[in-house]
Structures are given as structure tokens and as C-alpha cells.
A and B are shown apart, each in its own frame.
Chain A
Amino acid sequence: MTRAFWLTDQPLSIDETVRHVTRPEAGAVNTFIGTVREFTEGKRTLQLEYQAYIPMAEKKLQQIGEEIQARYGNAEVAICHRLGRLQISDIAVVIAVSTPHRNDAFEASRYAIERIKEIVPIWKKEYWEGGEEWIGDQLETQPYPSGGPGKEDMV
């Protein structure tokens, strides 16, 4: 089996991600699929570009998998993230979590996407009708108050 945490400039496969976590002990496989949104606060996005600090980003995705196993016990996690130019509705990220019971799978996939937005060095550049901009932290949810990782994230 290939790695369960990876970045690629090729289209993401939901099936491949799910295959990583499918197993006899699982009674639930939950997926989260992040896609490119056309309108953000009335502004029209034409396309996106994702850039990453690839070796660190893959390590941090793996760390999120380990955090989920520590929090939820019997859980398997796979996460892949797209890099490069993406069009509207393209898949940017796929998260798959399997657990024996559904509640943990739902919660853990939520945990994974929130954590990606905190500690994984991936950046999105939006190309609007009138220009382009690298996007900073997305405050849709509550990030670290300082906008960065806490002491517990440092070695």
C-alpha cells in the first residue's frame, strides 16, 4: 500500500483515500472532501493555486493521523492534499477516517480538517476577477488565538 498522507499535483482520488482506511474492524468510514469555492463574501474566484512546504506538510499530516489515533483509539486515517492550479469545484483535500463506531469517525474527520488549517504548511493563492492574493489564516472557525501553533506544537 502507498503512503496514507501525501501531497500531489495530480487530481485526488476519493476511492484511493478510502481504501487506505477500509478494514474489518471498522463499522464507519467518514470522508471529508474540500472543494474550490467560486464565491467568497461576494468575490468571485477564477482559480486557485496551492503551494506547500512539502516534506514538513506530509509530516504534519501524519502527525494529525497520530493525534487522532491518540484521541479516538482505534482509528485509521488517510489524508491527501492537492498542489498547483485548481479550478472551481476541483477537490483540494480528501480526508478519510475509519473507526469501529460512527461517532468517532465524524468527530475525527472534523478534527483533521481543523488541524490542517492550523499546523500544516500549505498556502492558497486566490485568483480573483480583479487580482490575486495569498490567503492567510481562514477565520471561519477558531484558530489558535495567536494565529499560530501553541507551545504544545513545538519540539
Chain B
Amino acid sequence: MSKILFFAGLQERLGAEALELQWKGKTIAELRQTLKHEYSLETIDAAMVAINEEFASDTAVVQEDDTVAFIPPVSGG
């Protein structure tokens, strides 16, 4: 299973900090589509993505036990 993490506005919209999905062998782009349409996360396209705490692209393929994080535009500092 892959752990999918959400923060800030995405977390509030989803009503949860994380989801567990079987996503091995599928891309981040596919994951975005699923989250947008099945979980009503319309703003997910504005988010960056990290796999195992490093930024990744939409073409990246999720491996077994990966942790994927959707990172809305940041506002620290």
C-alpha cells in the first residue's frame, strides 16, 4: 500500500491527513486524476508532489510502500 499525505487546504478539504491506496506501478499523474474526481480535491493540480520526502514529477511511478505527499504552494517564513 502507498501512504498519501495531505496538508493545509487539501487536508481540510479531504477531512483527513492521509489515505492508504494501492498505487504500485501507477503514476503520480493518474493519482492526481483519481484524487480530483473521486475525492473532490479540485485544487490538487496546484500542489507539488513528493515521494519519500523528495520532490517528484507527475511522470514518476509509485513503488510499493512509497509515501506520497501532496504539497500545496508553501507559505513559510
Residue ranges of A at the interface with B (Cβ–Cβ < 8 Å): 34, 50-53, 55-57, 59, 81, 92-93, 113, 116-125, 134-138, 147-149, 151, 153-155
Contact = CB atoms under 8 A, between A and B. Distances in A.
11 contacts: A81-B77, A113-B77, A116-B77, A120-B74, A121-B74, A122-B75, A123-B72, A123-B74, A124-B76, A147-B46, A148-B48
Interface of B: 5, 7-9, 12, 46, 48, 50, 53-57, 69, 71-77
A61 to B, nearest CB: 9
Given A154-B56, A155-B55, A117 B8 contact: no
B8 A134 contact: yes
B77 A123 contact: no
**Residue of B9, B57, B74 ringed by the most chain A CB atoms within 10 A:** B74
Main SS of the interface on chain A? Answer: mixed
Contacts of B12: 134
Given A56-B53, A134-B9, A124 B75 contact: yes
Contacts of A92: 76-77
Contact of A137 (B5, B55, B57, B75): B75
A51 B9 CA distance: 11
